[in-house]
Chain A
Amino acid sequence: MTMLPPPSPKKLGLVIDLDICVGCHACAVACKEWNDGGQFGPLPDENPYGKEPLSVWFNRVHTYEVETQDNGKPPMTVHFPRSCLHCETPDCVTVCPTGASYKRAEDGIVLVDEDKCIGCQLCAWACPYGAREFSEQRGVMQKCTLCIDRIYNETLDEIDRQPACVMACPTRARHFGDLGDADSAVSKLVAERGGYDLMPEMGYKPVNKYLPPRERRDGCPSKVATPQEEKVDFSTASPLLRWMDKLLSR
Chain B
Amino acid sequence: MHPALSVIFFTAVSGTGYGLLFLLGLILAADALLFSRAQALIVLATGSVFAAAGLSASLFHLGQPQRAWRALSQWRNSWLSREGVAALLSFAPVFALGFALWRDAAASTLRACAIVLAVMAVITVCCTAKIYTSLKTVHAWHNAYVLPGYLLFGLLGGAAWLWALAAMTGADDALVQRDLPVLVAVLAAACAMLKRFYWRFIDTTRHAATVESATGLGRYGAVRSVEAPHTEENYLTREMGFALARKHAATLRVIALVLFAVLPVALALPALIFRSTTLAIIHASVTALCVTAGIFVERWLFFAEAKHVVMLYYGSEHTRMSANLVYRR
CA–CA, A40 to B162, complex, Å? 51
Chain A residues with Cβ below 8 Å from B215 are 64, 78, 80, 198
Residue contacts A-B, CB under 8 angstroms, 30 given: A2-B78, A52-B232, A54-B238, A57-B230, A60-B229, A60-B230, A62-B314, A65-B226, A66-B220, A68-B221, A69-B220, A82-B229, A91-B134, A95-B77, A98-B71, A98-B73, A118-B62, A118-B63, A121-B239, A124-B236, A133-B234, A196-B216, A198-B214, A198-B215, A199-B309, A200-B213, A202-B137, A203-B136, A212-B217, A215-B220
For the complex, give the distance between the alpha carbons of A64 and B215 in Å: 9
Interface membership of chain B positions 279-322, coded 1 if the CB is closer than 8 angstroms to chain A and 0 otherwise: 00000000000000000000000000000111001100000000
Interface string of B49-92 (1 = CB under 8 A from A): 00000000000011111011011111011111100100000000
Q: Is the CB of A118 within 8 A of B65?
A: yes
Cross-chain contact A54 with B78 (CB below 8 angstroms): no
Question: Nearest chain B CB to A116's CB is how many angstroms away?
Answer: 6
**Residue in contact with B74 in the complex, picked from A97, A136, A213, CB distance below 8 Å:** A97
B32: min CB distance to chain A, Å:
37
Tell me whether A130 and B226 are in contact (CB under 8 A): no
Residues of the A chain whose Cβ atoms lie less than 8 Å from the Cβ of B134: 91, 95
Q: With A and B bound together, what is the CA distance between A80 and B227 in angstroms? A: 10
A97 and B84 contacting across the interface, CB-CB below 8 Å? yes
B196: Cβ under 8 A from any A Cβ: no
Is A95 a contact partner of B217 (Cβ separation < 8 A)? no
Chain B CB within 8 A of A76 CB? yes
Q: Does B223 contact A (CB under 8 A)?
A: yes
User: In the complex the two chains form, what is the Cα distance from A118 to B225 in whole Å?
Assistant: 34
The answer, among B61, B84, B136, for a CB contact under 8 Å with A202, is B136
Q: A41-56 interface mask toward B, CB cutoff 8 Å, 1 = contact, 0 = none?
A: 0000000000011111
With both beta carbons as reference points, the residue of chain B lying nearest to A125 in the complex is identified as B135
Q: Among A97, A141, A203, which residue has its beta carbon within 8 angstroms of that of B78?
A: A97
* Contact status A120-B71, CB under 8 Å: yes
Q: Which B residue sits closest to A53, measured CB to CB? A: B232
- Find A2's partner among B77, B208, B211 (CB 8 Å cutoff): B77
Contact with B along A123-138 (1 / 0, CB 8 A): 0111111100111101
**Structural contact, B62 and A61, CB atoms closer than 8 A:** no
CB distance from B128 to the nearest CB of A (A): 13
- Which chain A residue has the least Cβ–Cβ distance from B213? A199
Contact with A along B191-231 (1 / 0, CB 8 A): 00000000000000000110101111101111111111110
Judging by beta carbons under 8 Å apart, are B64 and A118 in contact?
yes
| Residue in A64, A68, A91 whose CB lies within 8 Å of B136 | A91
Closest to B329 in A: A52
Give which listed residue, A60, A94, A119, A203, contacts B77 with CB less than 8 A.
A94
Residues of B within 8 A of A100 (CB): 70
Contact of A95 with B63 at beta-carbon distance under 8 Å, contacts A120-B71, A122-B131, A125-B308 already known: no
For A, the interface residue count at a CB cutoff of 8 angstroms equals 70
| A167 to B142 CA separation, bound complex (whole angstroms) | 40
Q: Give the Cβ gap from B6 to chain A, nearest Cβ, in Å.
A: 11
Please tell me which one of the listed residues B80, B235, B313 contacts residue A133 in the complex, with CB atoms under 8 A apart. B235
Given contacts A122-B80, A199-B213, A199-B309, 11 further A-B contacts (CB under 8 A): A1-B74, A2-B78, A52-B233, A66-B222, A67-B223, A120-B80, A121-B239, A125-B308, A128-B309, A129-B310, A139-B62
B209 touches A201 (CB 8 A): yes
* Structural contact, B62 and A96, CB atoms closer than 8 A: no
Q: How far is the CA of A198 from the CA of B314 in the complex (A)?
A: 15
> Which residues on A sit within 8 Å (CB–CB) of B70?
97-100, 116, 118
Which residues in window 54-107 of A have CB below 8 A to B? Answer: 54-57, 60-69, 75-78, 80, 82, 91, 94-100
B138 within 8 A of A: yes
A245 to chain B, nearest CB (A): 51
A117 within 8 A of B: yes
Q: Would B63 and A63 count as touching, CB distance under 8 A? A: no
Residues of chain A with a CB closer than 8 A to B271's CB: none
A62 to B213, CA, bound (A): 15
- Nearest 5 CB-CB pairs, A to B? A119-B63, A139-B63, A60-B229, A97-B81, A130-B310
Q: Does B120 contact A (CB under 8 A)?
A: no
Question: Given A55, A96, A98, A120, which contacts B234 in the complex, CB threshold below 8 Å?
Answer: A55
B118 adjacent to chain A (CB < 8 Å): no
* A97 with B73: CB separation less than 8 A: yes
CB of B232 within 8 A of CB of A130, answer: no
CB distance from A128 to the nearest CB of B (A): 5
- A55 CA to B135 CA in the complex, in Å? 25
In the bound complex, CA of A129 to CA of B215 (Å)? 10
Complex contacts, B64 vs chain A, CB 8 Å? 117-119, 139-140
Asked if A111 is an interface residue, CB under 8 A from chain B, the answer is no
Contacts of A199 in B (CB 8 A): 209, 213-214, 309
A54 touches B208 (CB 8 A): no
- Min CB distance B83 to A, Å, is 8
Instruction: Report the minimal beta-carbon distance from A92 to chain B, rounded to whole angstroms.
Output: 10
Instruction: Tell me which residues across on chain A come within 8 A of B236, comparing CB atoms.
Output: 124, 130, 133
Closest to B77 in A: A94
